[in-house]
Amino acid sequence: MSANRLPVRNARRGLLVVMAVMAALLAPGAVAGAQETAVPTLGAVLDGEVAGLSATATTAFAGEDPSRPAMEVEIQLTNPGDTSVPVAVPFGMLLATDDEADQTTGVLGPTDDPTLAEVAASGGTPEITAAPGTTYVMLTVYCAELDDGAPYEPTPMHYAGMAAEPLPAVLRNIAAQQPDDWVGQEAVWWVTDDPTYPPPADIAPLLEGVDAEAFASDPHQVVPDSAYAPGWSRAGVVDEAFDGGTQSRAPAIPGSSSGSWLFWLLAAGAVLGTIAIVAAARRGGRRPDAARVIVPPRPGWYPDPGGSSSYRFWDGARWR
């Protein structure tokens, strides 16, 4: 072998050694990165998409203090393995029952997690741990549909997808700032149902990072529930129907103004409804009992005064 070929072969060997050393150094980082991205979400576990893990969610709305707007959901995690598994609970995760009359809820995070505020402020994602066997975790949730009720009894819930922005951002702000429960609920409803501008002063800090003026002028539905019409969308329909300047889209009755026909139609419906109620009460041998209407002492979730097996929200002035 010629002597001038030895340096070339040695150089190749040296290059291979360097590459092997670099691979060994980078491997732990690559594995760590893979592990970080492999943390399953609670939604995927609830949907049965994570091998070796399963979970159920059950309402726990009936707390000791019904005036507390924030509610809780009990998560049961089952891990048949012998190693604990972290499960991510992203801000903006939604849970719902199978009853369309029940509210969809937005998840704030683990109720008893002392690091929740820090994780939220740092831009992280809260996690719960599925220890070997069965683990129970409570999640704090907020009502994300103002005009829907909540079930009395513990009721199974399912993963209902992720909310659109700005609800995840607002839930993150709530977790980071830890406001009063009532203020947090009002901030959620500002996004889901009542985006006014300027927003109330007490919830303005919870809208940090949100273009409140733009959203209030052109809101969109953040909860993917086709069975629910947000408050702002229903208000828009009413405004359009009664706005004499823009004219109603409904056909006008000759000799009437553009919105007057709708007024008389609603008035007639109210009269007929009252007559029907009184007639039904008389057939039952008693008069309507006005004393049965409940006026709670303060805002909060209370048994539905209409008698259904659900909760409704009293905002201090009216039932929602």
Q: What is the pLDDT of residues 253-273, one digit of tens each?
A: 334 444 444 555 565 565 555
CA distance linking residue 210 with residue 197, whole number of Å: 12
Measured CA to CA in angstroms, residue 251 lies from 115, 239, 240, 268, 319 at distances of: 58, 16, 13, 18, 33
Domain ranges of the chain: 42-240, 256-314
Quote the CA–CA distance of 283 and 236 in Å, as a whole number: 40
What is the band of 62 on the pLDDT scale with cuts at 50, 70, 90?
low
CA angle 175, 179, 185 (to 5 degrees): 85
User: Which of 59, 303, 313, 43 lies closest to 189, judged by CA?
Assistant: 313
Task: Lowest mean pLDDT of 59-73, 120-134, 233-247, name the range.
Answer: 233-247
Residue with tokens 């975790």: 137
Q: What is the pLDDT of residue 40?
A: 98
CB contact at 8 A, 151 and 59: yes
Of 19-28, 139-148, 198-207, 217-226, the poorest mean pLDDT is in: 19-28
Whole-number mean pLDDT of the chain? 79
Which element (helix H / strand E) includes 211?
A: none
Q: How many CA atoms lie within 13 A of 32 on its CB side?
A: 5
Distance CA 234, CA 193 (A): 9
Strand, coil or helix: 253: coil
pTM over 0.75: no
Judged against a pLDDT cut of 80, whether residue 121 lies above it is answered with: yes
Which one has a higher pLDDT value, 250 or 77? 77
The identity of residue 108, as a single letter, is L
> Computed from CA positions of residues 89, 92, 96, 102, in that sequence, does the dihedral angle turn out positive or negative?
positive
Per-residue pLDDT tens digits for 214-241: 999 999 999 999 999 999 998 755 444 4
Give percent of the chain above pLDDT 90. Answer: 55
pLDDT of amino acid 71: 87
pLDDT at residue 301, rounded to an integer: 72
Residue 251: what pLDDT?
34
